[in-house]
Amino acid sequence: MGQDQAVPQFDANGDVRVPAFVLPVSGLLSAEAAAFQRTRATMPMFDGAGTQEPDIAARREQINAYAATGVARLRENFAVEIVPQTIGGVEVLDVTPADASHDPDRVLINLHGGAFTVGWDGIAMMEAIPIAALGKFRVVSVNYRMAPEHRHPAGVEDVAAVYAALLEDYAPGRIGIYGGSAGGALTAQAAAWLPAHGLPQAGAVGIFGAGGVPFDAGESAYVAGYIDGSFPPPPADGSAGIDITRGYFVDCDPRDPSAWPGYHLDVMATFPPTLIITGTRAMDLSPAIFTNSQLLKAGVRSTLIVGEGMGHCYHYGLHMPEGRDAVAAILSFFCENLN
C-alpha cells in the first residue's frame, strides 16, 4: 500500500470514516447485468437530491409512468388475464395465466412495493405478471391502504382481510404471500399479524428487497446510498432524513412487533418457511441478513439469497440472468412449500 493512499479512519465510538473510492463493476456479474450497471448514469433517482414531490397524486402518476414500459413488455411476453375485483372488501388485481393453466388449489397474495405510498397498480403488475405466467399461479395483488392518507396497521389489516376471504376457498397451507420493497416488509408484517389475530398461518412467505426491521436499520442503508444510489443515504450527522413512507409509521413504536417483527424471536417463531432475497448493493441488505438470522435462531426454515452486485429488488430485472434466477427460485420455493 502506498504511503499516500487513503485508508479508513476508525473513531473511538466505532464509526468508520470511509475515504472516497471507485467501486468497479463486479467481475462475477453476467454480461447483461454488467451492461445494466453501465446505464445507471442515465436512470432517475427518486428523492435523491434530498427533496420529495409534495403531491402524492403526482408521485403516484410518476411511478406508474416509470413502470409503464416494463409492464407493457411483460404483457407482450407473458399471456395473463388481469381482472380487477374486490376480495374481503379490498380492491385487488386477480392475475392468472391466460390459458387458465394455474393450479386451482394454490394461490399467491402479492403485496406491491412503493414505500407504503405508491406502486398501485404499475409496480403491482410488475410483481404479479411474471409469477403468474411462469409459475402457473393465481396471484391476487392487493391495493392495501397507504400513506399519507393512512397509517400502520391499515395495510396489514387489508392483507388480513383478503387472506381471510381466500380461506373460504383455499387451505392456509396452500396460500403464499410475497412482496418486494415495502411489500416485502408488509409480507413480514402479515406473517406476524395472522397468528396474532386468530388466523391460521400462511403456507410460506417471500420477503424480497426488505426485512422484518426498518430499511434504515443496520449498515446497508449508508453503503447502498453511495454505491447504488436508488435511495439517498441517511444524513451523516444522524438527523432524520426524508421519510419515504410519508408518515406511515409516525405513531408506531419503533419496536412494535406488528410493524417490525424481526426484533422479536417469539413472533418470528410463528413464521412459516420464508424466502428472503436481497443484493450486495441493496439498501435492504442488512434488514434481510438480520431477519434471516432471527428466523433461523427461532427455529424457522429460512433461505437467504444475496445477489452479487445487485441492487434493490433486482428480481424485477428479467432482462438479466440474475433476475431470472431469482424468479425461478421464488417459483421453486412456493411450489415446494404450498402443499
Domains defined along the chain, listed by start: 28-38+52-337 (3.40.50.1820)
Q: What is the dihedral of CA 212, 215, 220, 226, to 10 degrees?
A: 160
Buried-state track 276-300, b at ≥16 Cβ within 10 A, e below 16? bbbbbbbbbbbbbbbbbebbeebeb
**Looking at residue 237, what is its pLDDT?**
75
**Looking at residue 240, what is its pLDDT?**
76
pLDDT over 70 (residue 3): no
Q: Which of 156-160, 183-187, 231-235, 282-286 has the lowest mean pLDDT?
A: 231-235
**Looking at residue 39, what is its pLDDT?**
84
Which residues have CB under 8 Å from 198's CB, separation 6+? none
**What percentage of the chain reaches a pLDDT higher than 90?**
88
- pLDDT tens digits, one per residue of 54-68: 999 999 999 999 999
Residue 234: pLDDT band by 50, 70, 90 thresholds? Answer: confident
- 223-230: long-range pairs with CB below 8 Å, 24+: 223/285, 224/281, 224/282, 224/283, 224/285, 224/311, 224/312, 225/283, 227/23, 227/281, 228/281, 228/282, 228/283, 228/311, 228/312, 229/40, 229/45, 229/48, 230/45, 230/46, 230/283, 230/311, 230/312
Beta bridge partners of 10: 16
- pLDDT tens digits, one per residue of 254-279: 999 999 999 999 999 999 999 999 99
**Torsion sign, CA atoms 184, 186, 187, 188:** positive
**Looking at residue 287, what is its pLDDT?**
98
Q: Which residue has the higher pLDDT, 40 or 226?
A: 226
Buried-state track 59-89, b at ≥16 Cβ within 10 A, e below 16? bbebbbeebeebbeebeeebebebeeeebbe
Look at residues 260, 311, 330, 240 and name the one whose alpha carbon lies nearest to residue 36: 311
Mean pLDDT estimate for the chain:
94
pLDDT over 80 (residue 40): no
Which residues have CB under 8 Å from 4's CB, separation 6+? none
**Prediction pTM value:** 0.96
**Looking at residue 65, what is its pLDDT?**
95
Query: What are the backbone dihedrals phi and psi of residue 132, each rounded to the nearest 5 degrees, phi first?
Result: -65, -45
**Looking at residue 50, what is its pLDDT?**
57
Interval 112-124 mean pLDDT: 97
Interval 6-22 mean pLDDT: 93
State the residue for C-alpha cell 504511503.
Answer: 3
Rounded-to-integer distance, Cα 89 and Cα 258, Å: 22
pLDDT over 70 (residue 48): no
**Looking at residue 195, what is its pLDDT?**
98
- pLDDT tens digits, one per residue of 243-252: 999 999 999 9
pLDDT over 50 (residue 1): no
pLDDT over 80 (residue 4): no
- pLDDT tens digits, one per residue of 163-221: 999 999 999 999 999 999 999 999 999 999 999 999 999 999 999 999 999 999 999 99
One DSSP character per residue, 51-76 reads ---S-HHHHHHHHHHHHHHHHHHHHH
Q: Give the side-chain half-sphere CA count within 13 A for 285.
A: 20
pLDDT over 90 (residue 312): yes
Q: Which of 163-177, 229-243, 291-305 has the lowest mean pLDDT?
A: 229-243
